[in-house]
Amino acid sequence: MSVAAVRPFFRTTIGKKYLMGFTGLVWAGFVLSHMAGNLLILVGADAYNKYGHAIVTSGILIPAEIVLVLSFMTHVTLAILLTLENRKARGSRYAVSARGEKAASLASRTMAVQGSLILVFVILHISTFKYGTYYEVVVDGVRMRDLHRLVLEVFQQPGYVAWYAVCLILLGFHLSHGVGSVLQSFGWKNDHYAPWIRRISLVYGLVVAAGFLSQPLYAFFMAG
């Protein structure tokens, strides 16, 4: 199928929702693996640094960064377009969603605000860690970046821990709602699957938020 053939589909609201959902899932997958890999901080400095070094030297970083940046830009652009479309349509065709799911509708109404804060978080986060102080360490005879030292140093500061706690809880909400609505956009939210989709998205959001949160909390209270 050519690009020209699928273009009209992505101009429709449902097409935009699909693409937004898909690019969100790319990030959801990245965030889960980033969180899981980072849990190595609980194992020790060498394990954490060796993991970081393996990723940097594996050759996967540049392609992964390209996919992540493209996905992020697509996701944010479509989020803005869909919010504007939604605003225009509100009051005419689409009223508030039925069924009175208050929590879900609060989450969905604040998705744009959550997303904007997450964008700020990601930019600051990359500048703190990726472009932060470059300490070095030698592990098993290999010279590598001492990210463990940087992470512990950053999370000795209560302000950073508090900022991360707020953003990670928000991220948990955003991901949980996002994963749920992606599966809904893909048409899987029928009576049979709906309770499972709710459970999976809730557990997913909780696991990501709690897994990430454990790292600043560990660094602040247990290490250093």
Please give the Cα distance from 20 to 143 (Å, whole number). Answer: 41
Return the number of the residue (68 or 202) whose C-beta is nearest ligand HEM.
Answer: 68
Residues contributing to the site for ligand HEM (CB under 6 A): 31, 34, 38, 52, 56, 61, 65, 68, 118, 122, 125-126, 129-130, 147, 151, 164, 171, 212, 215-216
Return the number of the residue (164 or 204) whose C-beta is nearest ligand HEM.
Answer: 164
Q: How far is the CB of 85 from ligand HEM (least distance, A)?
A: 26
Q: CB under 8 Å to 130, separation ≥6 — which residues?
A: none
Q: How far is the CB of 9 from ligand HEM (least distance, A)?
A: 29
Q: CB under 8 Å to 169, separation ≥6 — which residues?
A: 209, 213
Return the number of the residue (115 or 180) whose C-beta is nearest ligand HEM.
Answer: 115
Q: How far is the CB of 208 from ligand HEM (least distance, A)?
A: 8
Return the number of the residue (181 or 215) whose C-beta is nearest ligand HEM.
Answer: 215
Angle between helices 13-38 and 194-221 (to 10 degrees): 40
State the residue number with the nearest CB to ligand HEM: 129
Q: How far is the CB of 109 from ligand HEM (least distance, A)?
A: 21
Return the number of the residue (204 or 212) whose C-beta is nearest ligand HEM.
Answer: 212
Q: How far is the CB of 80 from ligand HEM (least distance, A)?
A: 18
Q: CB under 8 Å to 28, separation ≥6 — which residues?
A: 175, 178, 179, 204
Angle between helices 111-128 and 158-185 (to 10 degrees): 130
Contact indicator for 45, 148 with CB cutoff of 8 Å: yes
